[in-house]
Amino acid sequence: MQLIFVVNKIYQALEKGNEIRAVFLDISKAFDKVWHKGLLAKLKSIGINGPLLQWFESYLTERYQRVTIEGMSSDWAHIEAGVPQGSVLGPLLFLIYINDIADVSSTCFLFADDSLLLDEVISPIDTANRLNNDLDSTSMWADRWLVTMNANKTKNMIFSSKLNKPLHPTLTLAHEPIDIVDQHDHLGVTLTNKLSWRPHILKIHQKASKKLNLLKPMKFKLGKKPLEILYKSVVRSCLEYADVVWDGCCDADRDLLESLQFEAARLITGALKGTHRESLLNETGWFTLKARRNAHKLFMMYKIVNNLTPPYLSELRPDNVSSRSNRSLRANDNLIVPFARTKRYKKSFYISSVNLWNSLSATICSSRSIAIFKNSVTRLHKFVAPNPLYYIGDRLPAILHTRLRLSNSTLNYDLYLKNCVSSSFCACRFPKETTAHFFFDCDRYAAIRNTLLTSAASLLGAAWSGAGKGTHLKWLLCGVGNVSIDTNINLFLSVQKFIIDSGRFTRSSP
């Protein structure tokens, strides 16, 4: 939420032709350097007294720690400062300790030990004076409360779209000059001085690619469901962190991330390269990352409209159209889209989210809860849950089954369509080795085919005997819609046994 507000503030300044100067403060070993007596004094200043204050004093003091590795332990060390990390109270106590650092004239943003000073530049000299005064105040605050501000790691950045940039006076912290940088990571998002998202996209793409590569050796060792859980929790979470902030990136950047998701879909399903992306989405039941980002923006907009966010976000909510018109219009309940001169600002969170919000029906916008709203938005995207049958069976036969279902297997006809082989002939000399030919016609599999078709007829009864070959093939590949899940599971296991017993997809097969 802080990132949304900060980036929107930068967008607005650039839209007006102004610049924004930011200082990213670095506190050395922030959680480990909290002065216990100072923290107790601050707790007392906010109204904590008596036994409760004594309890906090007992909680903080006379703590010891040691390291144990393979049964061997170090000596006990007395902890003289810091809040207990990994505890429920630790973050809260740190926030109480650092909260009054924000008493400055420029805009200050705090998130744990990440501190940011921000000032819109009308006059470079005035802005530098304000920020230097704030930095002096911050330095004095740090000295008073025994906090170490690291001037070498503290950076400042000038966000600007001007061709002829003015000179900006030097900023100093503890009499040390602060370096000016072109990009900086703040709260996990890479910000650049031109507000280009390319460096951030490349960073998360590289990070997610490394994580996805860790799953590749597990492709044939884990089932589809565990692989899918690992992808969503480890890889996709990386691709989507703060995605509402940087969704204004260019199409090439979006495509780069989508390609990684499709690579993950191939890994999880076992599909071969060249499989149509739409087929992969249907197989997995996934949305595109772009569709998910749009949904995330709508969820955040719902919170903003319904005052479920901090005031600094909710106060930015645009008025309704009805506030500027006395006429009865269909669009009266819509939000007024802020004016945007540049394409960059039009793609920012607030403007793009308002447009998405206005595209929804009044019924969805007035949902009674965020849960109901999310369900309604999900239904709008025509989400189709993945077929539970696609998780059935051992890993290898399930993969081969999937490839046949996706019409992208190692059958000669599929390979011929991709120009991987010069002929589509089957080894039995039939002109096209298609999926239907493999299941129903190739004379090399007559014996095991009889077992498969007998099993299917026994499971499905009159429905099987009354259907044609095209329907039979669909059932063998995708399951039957009007029978029990147990019947479908038995059918799928019979199909996968046929695939393995055929030997067609082993390396030694023709």
Q: Is 9 within a domain?
A: no
**pLDDT, position 498:** 96
> Do residues 25 and 160 share a domain?
yes
The pLDDT > 70 percentage for the chain reads: 97
**pLDDT, position 315:** 86
**pLDDT, position 27:** 83
pTM above 0.85, yes or no: yes
Return the structure tokens found at 378.
């999900």
Return the structure tokens found at 452.
């498969």
Tens-digit pLDDT profile for residues 164-189: 889 999 999 988 999 999 999 999 99
Return the structure tokens found at 143.
């000295």
> Do residues 280 and 300 share a domain?
no
- Measure the CA–CA gap between 314 and 312, rounded to whole angstroms: 6
CB 153 within 8 A of CB 65: no
Q: What average pLDDT does the chain have?
A: 91
Look-up of token digits 């260019």:
250
CB 494 within 8 A of CB 500: no
Task: Please say which residue of 154, 172, 192 terminates a domain.
Answer: 192
Tens-digit pLDDT profile for residues 45-90: 999 999 999 999 999 988 898 999 999 999 999 988 888 878 889 8
> Do residues 247 and 219 share a domain?
yes
> Do residues 315 and 350 share a domain?
yes
Q: Is 69 within a domain?
A: no
Residue 328 pLDDT exceeds 70: no
**pLDDT, position 507:** 57
**pLDDT, position 306:** 93
The number of domains in the chain is 4
**pLDDT, position 509:** 41
Domain residues for 328? 292-380
Taken in order 147, 152, 153, 156, the sign of the CA dihedral is: positive
Tens-digit pLDDT profile for residues 189-245: 999 999 999 999 999 999 999 999 999 999 999 999 999 999 999 999 999 999 999
Q: Is 510 within a domain?
A: no
> Do residues 441 and 323 share a domain?
no
3-state percent helix, strand, coil for the chain, nearest multiple of 5: 55, 10, 35
Task: Please say which residue of 332, 354, 380 terminates a domain.
Answer: 380
> Do residues 300 and 241 share a domain?
no
CA angle 296, 298, 300 (to 5 degrees): 70
> Do residues 31 and 163 share a domain?
yes
Cβ neighbourhood burial of 187 (10 Å; 0-12, 13-18, 19+): middle
> Do residues 252 and 318 share a domain?
no
- Measure the CA–CA gap between 356 and 151, rounded to whole angstroms: 43
Smallest Cα–Cα separation from 148: which of 135, 139, 137? 139
**pLDDT, position 385:** 78
CB 240 within 8 A of CB 255: no
Specify the DSSP element, H or E, that contains 22.
Answer: strand 19-25
Residue at 407: amino acid letter? S
Q: Is 495 within a domain?
A: yes
Q: Is 460 within a domain?
A: yes
CB 321 within 8 A of CB 336: yes
Residue 32 pLDDT exceeds 90: no
**pLDDT, position 510:** 36
Tens-digit pLDDT profile for residues 365-375: 999 999 999 99
Residue 332 pLDDT exceeds 50: yes
> Do residues 143 and 181 share a domain?
yes
Of the candidate ranges 6-10, 30-34, 36-40, 78-82, the one whose mean pLDDT is the lowest:
30-34
Cβ neighbourhood burial of 498 (10 Å; 0-12, 13-18, 19+): buried
Rounded average pLDDT over 257-262 = 96
> Do residues 365 and 409 share a domain?
no
Of the candidate ranges 109-123, 213-227, 239-253, 321-335, the one whose mean pLDDT is the lowest:
321-335
> Do residues 181 and 220 share a domain?
no
Q: Is 4 within a domain?
A: no
Per DSSP, 322 falls in state G
Rounded average pLDDT over 378-392 = 85
Query: From the CA atom positions of the chain, what is the Rg in Å?
Result: 31
CA angle 472, 474, 480 (to 5 degrees): 85
CATH of the domain at 92: 3.30.70
Cβ neighbourhood burial of 312 (10 Å; 0-12, 13-18, 19+): middle
> Do residues 365 and 472 share a domain?
no
Residue 325 pLDDT exceeds 70: no
Q: Is 440 within a domain?
A: yes
**pLDDT, position 324:** 64
Task: Please say which residue of 161, 177, 192 terminates a domain.
Answer: 192
Q: Is 62 within a domain?
A: no
